[in-house]
Amino acid sequence: MKVCGITTVEDARAAEEAGADAIGVVVFSDSPRSVSPEQAEAIIASVGPSVTTVAVTHTESEEDLERILALKPDAVQVSADLKVSESAGVSVWRMLAPGDPLRDDCDAVVVDGSRGSGTRYDASYARHCVEASCVPVILAGGLTPENVGEAIKRIRPRAVDVASGVEIAPGRKDHERIRAFVRVCREME
Residue 183 maps to which CATH number?
3.20.20.70
Question: Known catalytic residue: 134?
Answer: no
Q: What are 26-42's pLDDT values in tens digits? A: 999 988 999 999 999 99
Asked if residues 34 and 27 have their Cβ atoms less than 8 Å apart, the reply is yes
pLDDT band at 95 (very low <50, low <70, confident <90, very high): very high
Question: What is the structure's pLDDT at 116?
Answer: 62
Predicted confidence at residue 112, as pLDDT, reads: 86
- 160 is in which domain, residue-wise? 2-187
Element (H, E) at 75: strand 75-78
Overall size of the chain counted in residues: 189
CA distance 84 to 68: 11
Contact 56, 4 (CB under 8 A): yes
Answer yes or no: are the C-beta atoms of 64 and 72 closer than 8 Å.
no
For the chain, percent of residues with pLDDT exceeding 70: 98
pLDDT value, residue 113 = 75
Q: Which of 112, 129, 161, 185 is catalytic?
A: 112
Domain count, the chain: 1
4 among known catalytic residues = yes
51-69, pLDDT tens digit by residue? 999 999 999 999 999 999 9
Give per-residue pLDDT as tens, 121-164. 999 999 999 999 999 999 999 999 999 999 999 999 999 999 99
Mean per-residue pLDDT, 1-22: 98
Q: What is the structure's pLDDT at 117?
A: 67
pTM metric for this prediction: 0.95
Reported as a single tens digit per residue, the pLDDT across 72-85 is 999 999 987 888 88
